[in-house]
Amino acid sequence: MTGLEHQPRLPVILSVDDDPAVSRAVARDLRRHYGGRYRIVRAESGPDALETVNELKLRGDTVAVFVADYRMPGMSGIEFLEEAMDIYPLARRVLLTAYADTHAAIDAINVVDLDHYLLKPWDPPEEKLYPVLDGLLESWRAQGDRAIPMTKVIGHRWNPRSWEVRQFLARNQHSFRSYMADEAKGKQLLDAAGLDGLQLPVVITEGGETLVQPTNTELADMLGLSTSPSLEMYDLAVIGGGPAGLAAAVYGASEGLKTVLIESTTTGGQAGRSSRIENYLGFPTGVSGAELTTAARRQAERFGAEVITTRKAEKLDIHGPARTIELDDGTSLGARAVILATGVDYRQLQVSGCWDDPNSPHNYIGRGVYYGASVADSSECAGEDVYIVGGANSAGQAAMFMAREAKSVTLLVRGPSLAASMSYYLIQQIESQHNIHVRTCTEVVEAIGQDDHLTGLVLQNRQTGERETVTASRMCCFIGATPRTDWLDGVVARDDHGFILTGPDLKDVVGWTLDRPPHHLETSVPGVFVAGDVRADSAKRVAAAVGEGSMAVMLVHRYLAES
């Protein structure tokens, strides 16, 4: 056997088109750009392609991307992808369509979880083919068919920190496998590490290092993320790493400002927890919140912005033109201008056991009660009856995501319908999903627990007052927003709910010291701006937050020019 035979085989990009000329053209363009890193395989019918896929699986090859033509006799591209994804579920899926067939591509999004559709012809490939596949291949390498070793997380279902660690890794798009400490594989891993399972969670890195009850900072170090600023003074400091903050970092750094972004946990904010955002401009097949915000973070870093994670801003001092930000580790940094994009937290349900009440004997948060999506992977709720409280888009997206594996998902909505708070496209998807049920005019009035975790809920009809007890071990709440602004008390003007006032809303607020009026996104402190959900009367949409983040940078330039 030669040395070449010992080398690992290249991952495969497989294309299938029944037109021989088109099939050769696709393969030619793929080889020209990807031939050195991937093995290009083509087929001219769905059945032939499936036979090839099975042969690849038997030989132990991996498939990174399927590119299938929609119109093929005998087996359409959608039918091929539906069968191929059972064999290679992590491969990315692309459908080739003519302009008249774009409706089929939209349908395929729900049928085969399509990643992208390409219109024929795709010339020039440098503009219409390669950028699409580059993004899909990067996503596949980060999350797809990765070779072992892989990061392993050993935890317990009712251990809140285990859930937080899985969320941290998932939101940073770090591939990992999760094991329960009370199951055979989890026990085996703990035994191998010389641990008894009393100190959970445990993270075993790809390199074999064991982290016991790791902090977010230790996890960030494992992922190679920055946790400390490198400079003492910046042109622009952005506080908060959601869509608004990431947009501000991208535009600030790309326009030559020395920019630092400070995020207390992981970049992405509430949007980063969204399983799928389908109404964001430029993503016809939708995009997960983690994918969108991770790409934005990389973009900001490519332009030279420093992105600091697991560091919380605790104080903002104003001394003349200087703005000083004190962090939770005792360090501080200065900036000529500041953009506040701290976002919001989900409001806690005021039911015993469901909020941080020091007088309550029970706390089920992280033990069956979750704020935001409760799973990093839909398989975590396989076979469960899941309850989701809330009627906005975030609740609907979570319902669709968890319905893939859950036995049932029940949306509990206080109002008479979803129409007032949820996008129409999402309502349609929910109505077509057989295992999602919507209960309107319903609220949770009691949480029932056993052994310190959630086991049931008492529901009440708000119209009739009738109560019902249901069995539940997982409830996710999306019930409004609380701004993260307590640390700014007495520094910037806020409304009665804690949201930050800006621009024209400051007209009757005492404290503005300059002759000029405040800029549109400027707070009561000159040179301190705000963007995104934390601003009073904001739109609470990803696109709006991104727009405000970029607009705030334009106003920062104007302020710095005036100073």
User: Could you give the percent of the chain with pLDDT greater than 70?
Assistant: 94
Q: Where are the beta strands (DSSP E) in 33-188?
A: 39-43, 63-69, 92-97, 116-119, 151-155, 176-180
Q: Kindly list the distances between the CA atom of residue 160 and the CA atoms of 157, 213, 367, in Å, as whole numbers in the listed order.
A: 8, 11, 6
Residues 6+ apart with CB under 8 A from 541: none
Strands, E assignment, 75-185: 92-97, 116-119, 151-155, 176-180
Residue 101: what pLDDT?
64
Mean pLDDT of 10-20: 94
Ranges of beta strands (E only) in 133-227 are: 151-155, 176-180, 202-204, 210-212
Name the maximum alpha-carbon separation found in the chain: 83
Q: What band does 8 get if pLDDT is binned at 50, 70 and 90? A: low
For position 58, what pLDDT does the model report?
Answer: 64
Mean pLDDT on 141-158: 75
Residue 7 has pLDDT above 50, yes or no: no
Q: Which two tokens stand for residue 393?
A: 């888009």
Over the range 293-329, which residues count as b (16 or more CB within 10 Å of their CB) and which as e?
bbbbbebbbebebbbbbbbbbeebeeeeeebbbbbee
Strand, coil or helix: what is 99? helix
Tell me the C-alpha distance between 563 and 68, whole Å. 57
The whole-number pLDDT of residue 256 equals 96
Averaged pLDDT for residues 487-510: 91
* Closest to 14 in 3D by CA, of 60, 55, 58, 68: 68
Please state which architecture CATH assigns to domain 233-345+482-562: 3-Layer(bba) Sandwich (3.50)
Tell me the mean pLDDT in the region 445-452. 92
| Mean pLDDT across the chain | 90
Top-confidence range, 18-22, 324-328, 352-356, 393-397: 324-328
Residue 387's contacts (CB-CB under 8 Å, 6 or more residues apart) are 409, 410, 412, 444, 457, 470, 472, 474, 475, 476
Residue 2's pLDDT is what?
32
Tell me the pLDDT band of 196, cut-offs 50, 70 and 90.
Answer: confident
pTM score of the predicted model: 0.77
Domains 233-345+482-562 and 369-479 share a fold: yes
Give 150 or 269, the one with higher predicted confidence: 269
Closest CA to 346 of 274, 430, 288: 274
- pLDDT tens digit sequence for 504-517: 899 877 778 888 99
- How distant, in Å, are the alpha carbons of 12, 38, 147, 323 from that of 141? 12, 12, 10, 41
Give me the pLDDT at residue 4, please: 33
pLDDT digits over 269-285, tens only? 888 888 788 888 988 88
- By DSSP bridging, strand 116-119 and strand 92-97 are parallel
Identity of residue 273 = R
Give the per-residue pLDDT at 316: 97
Yes or no: say if 479 and 390 are a contact pair by the CB < 8 Å rule.
yes
Average pLDDT on 472-492 reads 94
Fill in the amino acid letter for 427.
I
Identify the pLDDT of residue 144: 61
**pLDDT mean over 215-220:** 96
Q: Does 185 score more than 60 pLDDT?
A: yes
**pLDDT at position 405 over 80:** yes
Q: Is the peptide bond before 214 cis (omega within 30 degrees of 0)?
A: no
DSSP 470-527: EE-SEEEE---EEES-GGGTTTS-B-TTSPBP-GGGGTT-TT--SSSPPPTTB-SSTT
pLDDT of residue 319: 84
Q: Which helix (H) or strand (E) holds 276?
A: none
Is a pLDDT exceeding 80 seen at residue 59? Answer: no
Condensed to tens digits (0 to 9), the pLDDT of residues 31-40 reads 999 999 999 9
Rounded to whole angstroms, the Cα distance separating 456 from 444 reads 10
Average pLDDT over residues 357-363: 81
What are the C-alpha distances in Å from 71 to residues 44, 64, 121, 224? 12, 22, 14, 45
CATH topology of domain 3-143: Rossmann fold (3.40.50)
Give the class (CATH, top level) of 151-223. Answer: alpha beta
Q: Is the predicted pLDDT of residue 116 greater than 90, yes or no?
A: no
Indicate the SS3 state at residue 369.
strand
Contact 80, 86 (CB under 8 A): no
Least confident interval from 230-239, 240-249, 280-289, 533-542: 280-289
**Where in the chain are the domains?**
3-143, 151-223, 233-345+482-562, 369-479
Q: Is the pLDDT of residue 464 over 70?
A: yes
Cβ proximity of 253 and 259 under 8 Å: yes
Per-residue pLDDT band at 332 (split at 50, 70, 90): very high
β pairing state of 12-16 and 467-471: unpaired
Helix axes 542-562, 243-254, angle to 10 degrees: 40
Q: Give the pLDDT confidence score for residue 482 in this predicted structure.
A: 92
Quick one: fold of 369-479?
FAD/NAD(P)-binding domain (3.50.50)
Residues 267 and 307: beta-carbon distance below 8 Å: yes
Does the pLDDT of residue 104 top 70, yes or no? Answer: no
Instruction: For residues 217 and 470, give the distance between their C-alpha atoms in angstroms, rounded to a whole number.
Output: 39
Structure tokens at 27: 């393969």
pLDDT band at 457 (very low <50, low <70, confident <90, very high): very high
Q: What are the structure tokens assigned to 177, written together? A: 């496998």
Cα–Cα distance list, 429 to 182, 219, 323, 521 (Å): 37, 36, 47, 36
Choice between 369 and 540, residue whose per-residue pLDDT is larger: 369
Single-letter residue type at 474: R
Whether the per-residue pLDDT at 359 is higher than 50: the answer is yes
